[in-house]
Amino acid sequence: MGKLQEFDITFSHNKVVYSPGETISGTLRIITANSLQYKAIKVNCVGSCGISSKMNDTSWMLEEQYVSSMLSVADKGTLPPGEHSFPFQFLIPTHAPTSFEGPFGKVVYRIRAVIDTPRFSKDYKSQKPFYLLKVMNLNELPDIEQPSCAVTTKKFTYFLVKTGTLMLKARSDLRGYTPGQIIKLSTEIHNKSGKDTGYVLASLIQKVTYKTKRPLFDFRTIAEVEGAGVKAGKHAEWKEQIIVPPLPQSVLVGCSLIDIEYFIQVSLKSPETVVTLPIYIGNIAVNLTPTRPPPPTPLQHGAVMPAMPSLSPGPVVPSAPPAEEDEDEVQGAGALSSEEIPTKSHSQQDPSGHAIAMSPGAFIHAPAQAHPQGQQGQSAESSAPLFCVSTGATIPFFTDGNATPVPTTCPLILPPEYSSWEYPHEPPPTYEESCSSTNSSFNTSMT
Protein backbone atom coordinates (compact mmCIF):
# COMPACT_ATOMS: atom_id res chain seq x y z
CA MET A 1 0.00 0.00 0.00
CA GLY A 2 2.99 2.31 -0.16
CA LYS A 3 2.76 4.83 2.65
CA LEU A 4 -0.19 3.01 4.16
CA GLN A 5 0.46 0.09 6.47
CA GLU A 6 -3.23 -0.49 7.21
CA PHE A 7 -6.48 0.84 5.75
CA ASP A 8 -9.38 -1.07 7.23
CA ILE A 9 -13.09 -0.77 8.06
CA THR A 10 -14.49 -2.30 11.25
CA PHE A 11 -18.12 -2.45 12.38
CA SER A 12 -19.19 -1.74 15.95
CA HIS A 13 -19.38 -4.92 18.05
CA ASN A 14 -18.22 -6.94 14.99
CA LYS A 15 -21.81 -6.88 13.78
CA VAL A 16 -22.32 -7.76 10.11
CA VAL A 17 -26.10 -8.41 9.87
CA TYR A 18 -28.49 -5.48 10.15
CA SER A 19 -32.18 -4.75 9.71
CA PRO A 20 -33.81 -1.98 7.64
CA GLY A 21 -34.20 1.18 9.72
CA GLU A 22 -31.16 0.35 11.87
CA THR A 23 -28.04 2.47 12.20
CA ILE A 24 -24.76 0.97 11.03
CA SER A 25 -21.69 2.37 12.72
CA GLY A 26 -18.01 1.60 12.77
CA THR A 27 -14.50 2.95 12.49
CA LEU A 28 -12.14 3.64 9.61
CA ARG A 29 -8.63 2.70 10.82
CA ILE A 30 -5.56 4.03 9.04
CA ILE A 31 -1.90 3.35 9.90
CA THR A 32 0.72 5.28 7.93
CA ALA A 33 4.47 4.74 7.82
CA ASN A 34 5.14 8.26 6.51
CA SER A 35 3.25 11.53 6.26
CA LEU A 36 0.36 11.31 3.79
CA GLN A 37 -1.26 14.31 2.16
CA TYR A 38 -4.93 14.07 1.25
CA LYS A 39 -7.67 16.22 -0.25
CA ALA A 40 -10.43 14.34 1.58
CA ILE A 41 -11.15 11.11 3.40
CA LYS A 42 -14.64 9.83 2.61
CA VAL A 43 -16.82 6.91 3.69
CA ASN A 44 -19.79 5.71 1.62
CA CYS A 45 -22.67 3.39 2.45
CA VAL A 46 -24.08 1.84 -0.72
CA GLY A 47 -26.71 -0.80 -1.44
CA SER A 48 -28.13 -1.87 -4.78
CA CYS A 49 -29.53 -4.68 -6.91
CA GLY A 50 -28.21 -5.60 -10.34
CA ILE A 51 -29.31 -8.32 -12.78
CA SER A 52 -27.92 -9.65 -16.05
CA SER A 53 -28.86 -12.19 -18.70
CA LYS A 54 -25.44 -13.86 -18.39
CA MET A 55 -24.44 -16.05 -15.48
CA ASN A 56 -22.03 -14.45 -12.98
CA ASP A 57 -21.82 -11.28 -15.07
CA THR A 58 -21.32 -8.00 -13.17
CA SER A 59 -22.14 -5.82 -16.19
CA TRP A 60 -25.72 -5.32 -15.11
CA MET A 61 -28.50 -4.92 -17.67
CA LEU A 62 -30.78 -3.40 -15.03
CA GLU A 63 -29.95 -1.89 -11.66
CA GLU A 64 -31.76 -0.19 -8.80
CA GLN A 65 -30.31 1.56 -5.77
CA TYR A 66 -31.55 1.42 -2.19
CA VAL A 67 -28.99 3.46 -0.28
CA SER A 68 -26.15 5.81 -1.30
CA SER A 69 -24.86 7.99 1.52
CA MET A 70 -21.49 9.74 1.72
CA LEU A 71 -19.72 11.06 4.79
CA SER A 72 -16.53 13.16 4.68
CA VAL A 73 -14.61 12.27 7.84
CA ALA A 74 -11.64 14.57 7.08
CA ASP A 75 -11.11 17.49 4.69
CA LYS A 76 -7.71 18.41 3.15
CA GLY A 77 -4.72 17.94 5.36
CA THR A 78 -1.82 15.66 6.19
CA LEU A 79 -1.86 12.43 8.12
CA PRO A 80 1.30 12.19 10.26
CA PRO A 81 2.94 8.76 10.69
CA GLY A 82 1.06 6.51 13.08
CA GLU A 83 -2.46 5.25 13.73
CA HIS A 84 -5.61 7.24 12.97
CA SER A 85 -9.27 6.39 13.58
CA PHE A 86 -12.33 8.00 12.02
CA PRO A 87 -15.79 6.96 13.25
CA PHE A 88 -18.73 6.78 10.86
CA GLN A 89 -22.46 6.16 11.11
CA PHE A 90 -25.24 5.64 8.54
CA LEU A 91 -28.99 5.06 8.73
CA ILE A 92 -30.25 2.13 6.66
CA PRO A 93 -33.53 2.96 4.84
CA THR A 94 -36.61 1.06 5.95
CA HIS A 95 -37.48 0.07 2.36
CA ALA A 96 -34.14 -1.70 1.69
CA PRO A 97 -34.63 -5.42 0.78
CA THR A 98 -32.85 -8.45 2.21
CA SER A 99 -29.39 -9.33 0.87
CA PHE A 100 -29.34 -11.95 -1.86
CA GLU A 101 -26.83 -13.45 -4.28
CA GLY A 102 -27.77 -15.52 -7.31
CA PRO A 103 -26.16 -16.49 -10.63
CA PHE A 104 -27.95 -13.76 -12.60
CA GLY A 105 -28.16 -10.99 -10.03
CA LYS A 106 -27.67 -9.90 -6.46
CA VAL A 107 -28.72 -7.48 -3.74
CA VAL A 108 -25.56 -6.28 -2.01
CA TYR A 109 -24.60 -3.74 0.63
CA ARG A 110 -21.16 -2.42 1.51
CA ILE A 111 -19.22 0.33 3.24
CA ARG A 112 -16.57 1.95 1.05
CA ALA A 113 -13.75 4.25 2.12
CA VAL A 114 -11.40 6.32 -0.02
CA ILE A 115 -8.44 8.59 0.66
CA ASP A 116 -8.52 11.21 -2.07
CA THR A 117 -4.91 12.29 -2.59
CA PRO A 118 -3.49 15.29 -4.50
CA ARG A 119 -3.03 15.17 -8.27
CA PHE A 120 -0.70 12.49 -9.68
CA SER A 121 -0.77 10.63 -6.35
CA LYS A 122 -2.42 7.28 -5.84
CA ASP A 123 -5.85 7.21 -4.24
CA TYR A 124 -6.38 4.56 -1.58
CA LYS A 125 -9.61 2.54 -1.40
CA SER A 126 -11.10 -0.04 0.92
CA GLN A 127 -14.51 -1.68 1.24
CA LYS A 128 -16.34 -4.16 3.43
CA PRO A 129 -19.70 -5.89 2.90
CA PHE A 130 -22.52 -6.08 5.39
CA TYR A 131 -25.75 -8.02 5.15
CA LEU A 132 -29.35 -6.94 5.50
CA LEU A 133 -32.19 -9.11 6.78
CA LYS A 134 -35.74 -7.82 6.44
CA VAL A 135 -37.58 -10.26 8.69
CA MET A 136 -40.54 -11.99 7.04
CA ASN A 137 -43.27 -12.87 9.55
CA LEU A 138 -45.26 -15.75 8.11
CA ASN A 139 -48.16 -14.97 10.43
CA GLU A 140 -48.88 -11.83 8.38
CA LEU A 141 -49.80 -13.94 5.33
CA PRO A 142 -53.46 -14.99 4.91
CA ASP A 143 -54.39 -18.64 5.56
CA ILE A 144 -50.74 -19.50 6.16
CA GLU A 145 -51.68 -22.07 8.83
CA GLN A 146 -53.94 -23.95 6.41
CA PRO A 147 -52.78 -27.00 4.42
CA SER A 148 -51.68 -26.52 0.82
CA CYS A 149 -53.52 -29.06 -1.35
CA ALA A 150 -53.61 -30.05 -5.01
CA VAL A 151 -55.15 -32.93 -6.94
CA THR A 152 -55.18 -34.12 -10.54
CA THR A 153 -56.48 -37.08 -12.53
CA LYS A 154 -54.79 -38.66 -15.51
CA LYS A 155 -56.35 -40.83 -18.18
CA PHE A 156 -53.81 -42.80 -20.13
CA THR A 157 -53.49 -45.64 -22.61
CA TYR A 158 -51.22 -48.64 -22.12
CA PHE A 159 -50.57 -51.70 -24.23
CA LEU A 160 -51.94 -49.57 -27.10
CA VAL A 161 -55.57 -50.53 -26.52
CA LYS A 162 -56.17 -50.48 -22.76
CA THR A 163 -57.07 -47.32 -20.88
CA GLY A 164 -56.74 -46.47 -17.23
CA THR A 165 -57.31 -43.64 -14.78
CA LEU A 166 -54.98 -42.41 -12.09
CA MET A 167 -55.61 -39.85 -9.35
CA LEU A 168 -52.74 -38.05 -7.59
CA LYS A 169 -53.46 -35.94 -4.53
CA ALA A 170 -50.90 -34.17 -2.34
CA ARG A 171 -51.14 -32.04 0.78
CA SER A 172 -48.66 -30.23 3.04
CA ASP A 173 -49.52 -29.53 6.67
CA LEU A 174 -48.91 -25.75 6.34
CA ARG A 175 -48.35 -23.12 3.68
CA GLY A 176 -45.32 -21.53 5.30
CA TYR A 177 -42.14 -22.70 7.01
CA THR A 178 -38.88 -21.41 8.42
CA PRO A 179 -35.43 -23.01 7.96
CA GLY A 180 -35.08 -25.93 10.34
CA GLN A 181 -38.79 -26.78 10.33
CA ILE A 182 -40.23 -29.97 8.87
CA ILE A 183 -42.65 -30.11 5.94
CA LYS A 184 -45.11 -32.93 6.54
CA LEU A 185 -46.31 -34.20 3.19
CA SER A 186 -49.21 -36.59 2.54
CA THR A 187 -49.79 -38.14 -0.89
CA GLU A 188 -52.61 -40.38 -2.15
CA ILE A 189 -52.48 -42.33 -5.40
CA HIS A 190 -55.48 -44.18 -6.84
CA ASN A 191 -54.29 -46.45 -9.63
CA LYS A 192 -57.46 -47.59 -11.40
CA SER A 193 -55.67 -49.41 -14.17
CA GLY A 194 -54.07 -52.76 -14.87
CA LYS A 195 -50.54 -51.28 -15.06
CA ASP A 196 -48.10 -50.49 -12.24
CA THR A 197 -47.03 -46.86 -11.92
CA GLY A 198 -43.46 -45.57 -11.90
CA TYR A 199 -41.86 -44.22 -8.73
CA VAL A 200 -43.31 -41.18 -6.95
CA LEU A 201 -41.05 -38.19 -6.33
CA ALA A 202 -41.54 -35.24 -3.95
CA SER A 203 -39.26 -32.24 -4.47
CA LEU A 204 -38.75 -28.94 -2.66
CA ILE A 205 -37.98 -26.50 -5.47
CA GLN A 206 -36.82 -22.90 -5.50
CA LYS A 207 -37.72 -20.62 -8.40
CA VAL A 208 -35.90 -17.30 -8.77
CA THR A 209 -37.16 -14.89 -11.43
CA TYR A 210 -34.79 -12.22 -12.75
CA LYS A 211 -36.96 -9.56 -14.37
CA THR A 212 -34.93 -8.62 -17.41
CA LYS A 213 -36.61 -7.66 -20.71
CA ARG A 214 -36.90 -11.39 -21.31
CA PRO A 215 -37.32 -12.82 -17.77
CA LEU A 216 -34.94 -15.52 -16.59
CA PHE A 217 -36.19 -18.42 -14.46
CA ASP A 218 -33.60 -20.17 -12.30
CA PHE A 219 -34.85 -23.44 -10.78
CA ARG A 220 -33.06 -25.39 -8.06
CA THR A 221 -34.06 -28.71 -6.53
CA ILE A 222 -33.35 -28.20 -2.84
CA ALA A 223 -34.40 -31.65 -1.57
CA GLU A 224 -35.96 -34.79 -3.02
CA VAL A 225 -37.71 -37.81 -1.56
CA GLU A 226 -38.44 -40.86 -3.71
CA GLY A 227 -41.08 -43.48 -3.03
CA ALA A 228 -41.94 -46.77 -4.70
CA GLY A 229 -44.58 -47.11 -7.40
CA VAL A 230 -48.18 -48.23 -6.92
CA LYS A 231 -49.35 -51.65 -8.09
CA ALA A 232 -52.15 -52.03 -10.59
CA GLY A 233 -55.61 -51.57 -9.08
CA LYS A 234 -54.28 -50.26 -5.77
CA HIS A 235 -54.99 -47.22 -3.64
CA ALA A 236 -51.82 -46.20 -1.83
CA GLU A 237 -50.80 -43.53 0.66
CA TRP A 238 -47.36 -42.03 1.18
CA LYS A 239 -46.40 -39.91 4.16
CA GLU A 240 -43.03 -38.19 4.15
CA GLN A 241 -41.23 -35.23 5.66
CA ILE A 242 -38.68 -32.78 4.32
CA ILE A 243 -36.56 -30.59 6.57
CA VAL A 244 -36.19 -27.02 5.29
CA PRO A 245 -32.49 -26.13 4.95
CA PRO A 246 -31.13 -22.57 5.25
CA LEU A 247 -32.79 -20.72 2.36
CA PRO A 248 -33.46 -17.12 1.37
CA GLN A 249 -36.94 -15.97 2.27
CA SER A 250 -39.77 -15.86 -0.24
CA VAL A 251 -40.39 -12.51 -1.92
CA LEU A 252 -37.64 -9.88 -1.67
CA VAL A 253 -39.85 -7.07 -0.37
CA GLY A 254 -38.53 -3.77 -1.69
CA CYS A 255 -36.79 -5.32 -4.71
CA SER A 256 -38.53 -5.03 -8.09
CA LEU A 257 -35.92 -6.93 -10.13
CA ILE A 258 -35.70 -10.33 -8.34
CA ASP A 259 -38.52 -12.56 -7.10
CA ILE A 260 -38.13 -15.76 -5.05
CA GLU A 261 -40.75 -18.51 -4.84
CA TYR A 262 -40.88 -22.00 -3.39
CA PHE A 263 -43.13 -24.94 -4.09
CA ILE A 264 -43.39 -28.66 -3.45
CA GLN A 265 -43.79 -30.74 -6.58
CA VAL A 266 -45.12 -34.29 -6.34
CA SER A 267 -44.86 -36.30 -9.54
CA LEU A 268 -45.16 -39.78 -10.95
CA LYS A 269 -42.70 -41.00 -13.56
CA SER A 270 -45.22 -43.21 -15.34
CA PRO A 271 -47.79 -42.16 -16.31
CA GLU A 272 -46.34 -38.64 -16.19
CA THR A 273 -48.44 -36.82 -13.60
CA VAL A 274 -47.60 -33.82 -11.43
CA VAL A 275 -49.18 -31.57 -8.80
CA THR A 276 -47.71 -28.38 -7.38
CA LEU A 277 -48.06 -27.01 -3.84
CA PRO A 278 -46.92 -23.37 -3.43
CA ILE A 279 -45.36 -22.59 -0.04
CA TYR A 280 -43.58 -19.68 1.65
CA ILE A 281 -40.21 -19.62 3.40
CA GLY A 282 -39.92 -16.94 6.09
CA ASN A 283 -38.07 -15.99 9.27
CA ILE A 284 -40.81 -16.04 11.93
CA ALA A 285 -42.62 -19.38 12.16
CA VAL A 286 -46.36 -19.85 11.90
CA ASN A 287 -48.00 -19.53 15.30
CA LEU A 288 -50.15 -22.63 15.72
CA THR A 289 -51.27 -21.77 19.25
CA PRO A 290 -55.09 -22.04 19.32
CA THR A 291 -56.95 -18.80 20.01
CA ARG A 292 -59.21 -20.62 22.44
CA PRO A 293 -57.62 -23.04 24.90
CA PRO A 294 -59.08 -26.55 24.84
CA PRO A 295 -61.30 -27.57 27.76
CA PRO A 296 -59.19 -28.60 30.76
CA THR A 297 -58.54 -32.28 31.16
CA PRO A 298 -58.83 -33.66 34.71
CA LEU A 299 -55.38 -34.47 36.06
CA GLN A 300 -54.27 -36.32 39.10
CA HIS A 301 -52.92 -34.27 41.96
CA GLY A 302 -49.39 -33.08 41.15
CA ALA A 303 -49.58 -34.16 37.49
CA VAL A 304 -48.19 -31.89 34.81
CA MET A 305 -49.69 -31.25 31.38
CA PRO A 306 -47.55 -32.85 28.66
CA ALA A 307 -45.37 -30.46 26.69
CA MET A 308 -46.01 -29.74 23.03
CA PRO A 309 -43.82 -31.82 20.72
CA SER A 310 -40.66 -30.11 19.55
CA LEU A 311 -39.39 -29.79 15.99
CA SER A 312 -36.68 -32.34 16.66
CA PRO A 313 -33.11 -31.01 16.63
CA GLY A 314 -31.96 -34.50 15.75
CA PRO A 315 -31.50 -36.00 12.29
CA VAL A 316 -34.53 -36.25 10.05
CA VAL A 317 -34.86 -39.73 8.66
CA PRO A 318 -37.44 -40.39 5.93
CA SER A 319 -40.28 -42.45 7.21
CA ALA A 320 -43.77 -43.57 6.37
CA PRO A 321 -45.75 -43.10 9.58
CA PRO A 322 -49.24 -44.51 9.98
CA ALA A 323 -52.05 -42.71 8.22
CA GLU A 324 -53.54 -39.88 10.26
CA GLU A 325 -56.62 -39.07 8.18
CA ASP A 326 -59.99 -40.65 8.71
CA GLU A 327 -61.24 -43.05 6.09
CA ASP A 328 -63.84 -40.48 5.06
CA GLU A 329 -61.06 -38.24 3.77
CA VAL A 330 -59.82 -40.88 1.33
CA GLN A 331 -61.88 -39.85 -1.63
CA GLY A 332 -62.37 -42.01 -4.65
CA ALA A 333 -60.81 -45.08 -3.14
CA GLY A 334 -63.85 -47.21 -3.88
CA ALA A 335 -63.19 -50.89 -3.46
CA LEU A 336 -59.48 -50.54 -4.23
CA SER A 337 -57.05 -52.22 -1.90
CA SER A 338 -55.06 -49.79 0.23
CA GLU A 339 -51.35 -49.94 0.98
CA GLU A 340 -48.50 -47.75 2.19
CA ILE A 341 -45.79 -46.59 -0.20
CA PRO A 342 -42.28 -47.28 1.10
CA THR A 343 -39.63 -44.58 0.76
CA LYS A 344 -36.72 -45.56 -1.48
CA SER A 345 -34.32 -42.63 -1.09
CA HIS A 346 -33.90 -39.19 0.43
CA SER A 347 -31.45 -36.76 -1.18
CA GLN A 348 -31.29 -34.24 1.63
CA GLN A 349 -27.91 -35.20 2.98
CA ASP A 350 -24.61 -33.48 3.59
CA PRO A 351 -21.50 -34.33 1.50
CA SER A 352 -20.46 -37.06 3.95
CA GLY A 353 -23.66 -38.96 3.22
CA HIS A 354 -25.11 -38.59 6.70
CA ALA A 355 -28.58 -37.23 7.39
CA ILE A 356 -28.57 -33.54 8.19
CA ALA A 357 -29.11 -32.59 11.82
CA MET A 358 -30.13 -28.97 12.32
CA SER A 359 -31.47 -27.12 15.29
CA PRO A 360 -34.53 -25.04 14.39
CA GLY A 361 -33.47 -22.50 16.97
CA ALA A 362 -30.46 -21.65 14.84
CA PHE A 363 -32.66 -20.25 12.10
CA ILE A 364 -36.03 -19.20 13.54
CA HIS A 365 -36.58 -15.69 14.86
CA ALA A 366 -38.55 -15.33 18.03
CA PRO A 367 -41.20 -12.61 17.61
CA ALA A 368 -39.46 -10.48 20.24
CA GLN A 369 -36.23 -10.38 18.23
CA ALA A 370 -35.73 -7.57 15.78
CA HIS A 371 -32.75 -9.19 14.09
CA PRO A 372 -30.25 -12.02 14.60
CA GLN A 373 -27.72 -9.89 16.46
CA GLY A 374 -29.95 -8.69 19.27
CA GLN A 375 -27.10 -8.74 21.78
CA GLN A 376 -24.40 -6.10 21.72
CA GLY A 377 -20.74 -6.84 22.22
CA GLN A 378 -20.85 -10.44 21.06
CA SER A 379 -17.81 -12.23 19.72
CA ALA A 380 -17.20 -12.41 15.99
CA GLU A 381 -18.37 -16.00 15.91
CA SER A 382 -21.63 -15.42 17.73
CA SER A 383 -22.39 -12.36 15.60
CA ALA A 384 -21.93 -14.22 12.33
CA PRO A 385 -24.84 -14.17 9.88
CA LEU A 386 -27.71 -16.49 10.75
CA PHE A 387 -29.44 -16.32 7.39
CA CYS A 388 -28.82 -17.39 3.84
CA VAL A 389 -27.49 -14.79 1.44
CA SER A 390 -26.74 -17.07 -1.51
CA THR A 391 -29.26 -19.30 -3.21
CA GLY A 392 -29.54 -22.55 -1.31
CA ALA A 393 -26.70 -22.19 1.18
CA THR A 394 -25.78 -20.37 4.35
CA ILE A 395 -22.96 -17.85 4.36
CA PRO A 396 -20.10 -20.24 5.14
CA PHE A 397 -17.54 -17.71 6.44
CA PHE A 398 -17.12 -14.10 7.35
CA THR A 399 -13.63 -12.61 7.24
CA ASP A 400 -12.57 -9.41 8.91
CA GLY A 401 -9.76 -7.97 6.80
CA ASN A 402 -6.87 -10.43 6.53
CA ALA A 403 -7.86 -12.30 9.67
CA THR A 404 -8.56 -16.01 9.75
CA PRO A 405 -12.08 -16.78 8.44
CA VAL A 406 -14.59 -17.25 11.23
CA PRO A 407 -17.26 -19.91 10.52
CA THR A 408 -20.85 -18.91 11.07
CA THR A 409 -23.01 -20.52 13.72
CA CYS A 410 -24.95 -22.32 10.96
CA PRO A 411 -23.51 -25.29 9.06
CA LEU A 412 -22.90 -24.92 5.35
CA ILE A 413 -25.58 -27.00 3.64
CA LEU A 414 -25.76 -27.20 -0.13
CA PRO A 415 -28.75 -28.67 -1.93
CA PRO A 416 -28.12 -31.95 -3.75
CA GLU A 417 -28.66 -30.39 -7.19
CA TYR A 418 -27.13 -26.96 -7.57
CA SER A 419 -27.47 -26.34 -11.31
CA SER A 420 -29.07 -23.57 -13.37
CA TRP A 421 -30.94 -23.47 -16.61
CA GLU A 422 -30.85 -20.47 -18.90
CA TYR A 423 -34.01 -19.20 -20.55
CA PRO A 424 -36.25 -20.07 -22.21
CA HIS A 425 -37.54 -22.26 -19.41
CA GLU A 426 -41.22 -22.53 -18.70
CA PRO A 427 -42.22 -22.08 -15.07
CA PRO A 428 -44.02 -24.98 -13.36
CA PRO A 429 -47.81 -24.96 -13.13
CA THR A 430 -49.27 -22.80 -10.39
CA TYR A 431 -51.60 -24.14 -7.73
CA GLU A 432 -54.61 -22.78 -9.63
CA GLU A 433 -53.43 -24.26 -12.93
CA SER A 434 -52.82 -27.58 -11.22
CA CYS A 435 -56.43 -27.63 -10.05
CA SER A 436 -58.17 -26.11 -13.11
CA SER A 437 -56.36 -27.92 -15.91
CA THR A 438 -58.55 -29.78 -18.39
CA ASN A 439 -56.72 -32.91 -17.32
CA SER A 440 -57.11 -32.15 -13.62
CA SER A 441 -60.64 -32.91 -12.59
CA PHE A 442 -61.14 -34.85 -9.40
CA ASN A 443 -64.36 -36.77 -9.20
CA THR A 444 -65.29 -37.47 -5.61
CA SER A 445 -67.67 -40.18 -6.72
CA MET A 446 -64.96 -42.35 -8.30
CA THR A 447 -65.53 -45.98 -7.58
Q: What is the pLDDT along the chain (447 residues), one digit of tens a residue?
A: 457 889 999 999 999 999 999 999 999 999 998 888 899 999 999 999 999 988 888 889 999 999 999 999 999 889 999 999 999 999 999 999 999 999 999 999 999 999 998 877 788 999 999 999 999 999 999 999 999 999 999 998 888 888 899 999 999 999 999 999 999 999 999 999 999 999 999 999 999 999 988 899 999 999 999 998 999 999 999 999 999 998 999 999 999 999 999 999 999 988 999 999 999 999 999 998 754 555 554 444 444 433 333 333 333 334 333 333 333 333 333 444 567 877 766 665 333 333 333 333 323 333 333 333 333 333 333 333 334 444 333 332 333 333 333 333 333 333 333 333 333 344 445 545 544 444 443 343 343
147 preceded by cis ω (within 30°)?
A: no
In whole angstroms, how far apart are CA 223 and each of 265, 284, 417? Answer: 11, 22, 8
Q: Determine the pLDDT at residue 394.
A: 31
Q: Determine the pLDDT at residue 348.
A: 55
How many Å is the maximal CA-CA distance in the chain?
A: 92
Q: Determine the pLDDT at residue 351.
A: 32
Among candidates 51, 30, 54, which has minimal Cα distance to 41?
30
Given its phi and psi angles, is residue 194 left (phi above 0), alpha (psi -120 to 50 degrees) or beta? Answer: alpha
Distance CA 198, CA 229 (A): 5
The number of helices, as runs of H, and strands, as runs of E, in the chain is: 1, 22
Where are the extended beta strands (E) located within 117-247? 124-132, 148-158, 162-172, 176-177, 182-192, 200-210, 216-227, 234-243
- Which H or E run includes 431? helix 431-436
Distance CA 179, CA 159 (A): 46
Burial annotation 172-205 (CB, 10 A radius, 16+ → b, else e): bbbbbbbbbbebbbbbbbbbbbebebebbbbbbb
Q: Determine the pLDDT at residue 295.
A: 55
Q: Determine the pLDDT at residue 347.
A: 62
Q: Determine the pLDDT at residue 127.
A: 94
Single-letter amino acid code for the residue at 297? T
Distance CA 155, CA 167 (A): 9
Q: Determine the pLDDT at residue 158.
A: 85
Q: Determine the pLDDT at residue 361.
A: 30
Q: Determine the pLDDT at residue 390.
A: 41
Walk me through the domains of the chain, giving residue ranges and CATH numbers.
Answer: 4-132 (2.60.40.640), 142-209+216-285+312-357+426-436 (2.60.40.640)
Does pTM top 0.85 for this prediction? no
